[in-house]
Amino acid sequence: MTDEFETQGDRRRGKDRRSDTNRRSGRDRRSGTERRTSKDRRAGWGKVDQERLRGALTAAATVAHLFSQPLTIVIGHVDLLLSKVEDGATRKKLEIIKEQLQSLSMTLQDLRSLRQYKTVDLDGLVLLDIALRKVRKLD
Amino acid sequence: MRDAKKTEILLWDKHSTERELVEEMLTNLGFKVTAVSNEHDCLREFSSRKYDLVIFDQGLPDLDVRRFVDELAEIDQMTPIAMMATLAVEFYQERFGDSNIDFLIVKPFELVQLRRLVEEAVELAERLK
């Protein structure tokens, strides 16, 4: 009888199951790049925090950059519609859309202003602390 | 401020949707706009007549911003130049603070911010005269 992984035959034949070529050697395990060196450990967590900040800044800049153009186009068209539309109900809806877009715009501004790695825990949901406090309006 | 209809703006944006929008926004504000889609046309237009403001989009992967604004300045150093940007102002100040860029307008922007930009640019041009 053979099993799916053909291990039982090996065991019966007394073959060393640890000889698998995919297996990492003792040296590999010690040289893992994710492993902190003793020098790192002596330096405390500062280096890790710096890396976290760098990652967060890169992600924040990417989001700010990629979201800016579509947001410009949507806000711009809403503004143009508001300058033309006279119907009260439509204007009110457009103003609500603009308010929400301004809120997104402020979040992008907060992402651009990110200078330190700080998180906020919303009952288990850990997020970057970028002024998640309230919805604000532009001047 | 001078009559808006007399204010001539040269707009360069490679992205057609954004270019058409910004052109419409500026026209809606009463300014006269010439919109172009590439660097060559922008420099040619700028050489052909006097503009009150040049607005261009920084988000082009193959654009050498410093060289481009230097070329504009060689044609006419007195015309204000504004760059549409997406990142923190400090980033651009560090990179282009000593360049010929006079104004940054950070996306996303609204009609009111675009009007303010043109007003400030026209004021600057008046002061430089």
CB contact under 8 A, A64 and B86: yes
Instruction: Encode pLDDT of A18-39 as tens digits.
Output: 555 555 555 555 555 556 667 6
B63-69 contact pairs (CB < 8 A, 24+): B63/B39, B65/B96, B65/B99, B65/B101, B66/B96, B66/B99, B68/B39, B69/B96, B69/B99, B69/B100, B69/B101
pLDDT tops 50 at residue A139: no
Model pLDDT, residue A2: 45
Q: What percent of chain A has pLDDT over 90?
A: 31
The β-bridge relationship of strands B8-12 and B53-57 is parallel
Chain B residues in contact with A59 by the CB 8 A cut-off are: none
- H/E/C letters for each residue in B96-108? HCCCCCCEEEECC
Interface touch A61/B87, C-beta < 8 Å:
yes
**Whether the predicted pLDDT of A52 surpasses 90:** no
Q: What is the pLDDT of residue A136?
A: 45
Q: What is the per-residue pLDDT for A137?
A: 43
- The sign of the CA dihedral A92, A93, A94, A98 is positive
* pLDDT greater than 80 at residue B104: yes
Which tokens sit at A105? 């715009």
pLDDT in tens, A88-103: 999 999 999 999 999 9
A69 to chain B: which residues are within 8 Å by CB? 15, 18, 59, 86, 107
pLDDT in tens, B13-58: 999 999 999 999 999 999 999 999 999 999 999 999 999 999 999 8
Q: Which of A103-112, A122-131, B70-79 has the lowest mean pLDDT?
A: A122-131
Q: Give the number of C-alpha atoms closer than 13 A to the C-alpha of residue A98, restricted to the C-beta side.
A: 19
The residue with tokens 């297996």 is A23
Nearest chain B residue to A76 by CA: give it: B110
What is the C-alpha radius of gyration for chain B, rounded to an integer number of angstroms? 13
ipTM of the complex: 0.86
Share of chain B above pLDDT 70, in %: 97
Dump pLDDT digits (tens) for A103-119: 999 999 988 888 777 78
A123: DSSP letter = T
Question: Rounded CA gap, B54 and B35, in Å?
Answer: 10
> Would the pLDDT of B102 be above 90?
yes
Mutate to test the interface with B, among A79, A100, A114 (most CBs of B within 10 A): A79
B54: enclosing H helix or E strand: strand B53-57
Q: Searching chain A, which residue's CA lies closest to the CA of residue B113? A: A139
Average pLDDT of span B109-125: 95
